[in-house]
Amino acid sequence: MNKTKLNKLIKQLLVSTLAVVFVFAPLHFDALVVTTIHAEFDEDGYENIYEDTTWFKGEHVIEKGVFIDEGATLTIEEGAKIVFKKTSDTNPFFDVGNGRVLAIGSKDEKITFTYADEASKNYSIYIGGAGTIDSKTSFFRFVDFIG
């Protein structure tokens, strides 16, 4: 067998092997989390979300307060746990303001709003100026509120 045919055979075997590996053992990137935070903290430590932002599955701690600015959407993925933890004289809060929230969990992986300890139990969630949810802008599905 000449060298050219051998190289061609090796390439074919390599491509075939790679195809089989990718078909029967797909790669998983579960540990790879790419997050772009479109928020900033003011001088008092309050978080202002000013562009569309996603909170992924896992724990998100609110120590003071979160404001969602007008035009911004906070998407909260299933399995996310929002934990309020009081670290100052102010009770922690979550204020949707004129922004919107898409908190859509599932039966198997609900989204949970809860508190870290007894001191943090008096957290607040503000939705809209009149305390009502505008069904055209914000959605809360399969969400547990504890506290």
d(C-alpha 125, C-alpha 140), whole Å = 13
95 in Cβ contact with 65 (< 8 Å): yes
- Model pLDDT for residues 35-72, shown as the tens digit of each residue: 444 556 666 778 889 899 999 999 999 998 999 988 89
CA distances from 108 to 63, 70, 72, 74, 114 (A): 28, 32, 28, 21, 18
* Neighbouring C-beta atoms of residue 96, cutoff 10 Å: 22
Mean pLDDT of 112-138: 78
pLDDT at residue number 109: 96
SS3 10: helix
Q: Where are the domains of the chain?
A: 39-145
- The string of pLDDT tens digits covering residues 2-39 is 767 766 767 776 666 655 545 555 444 333 333 444 55
pTM above 0.75, yes or no: no
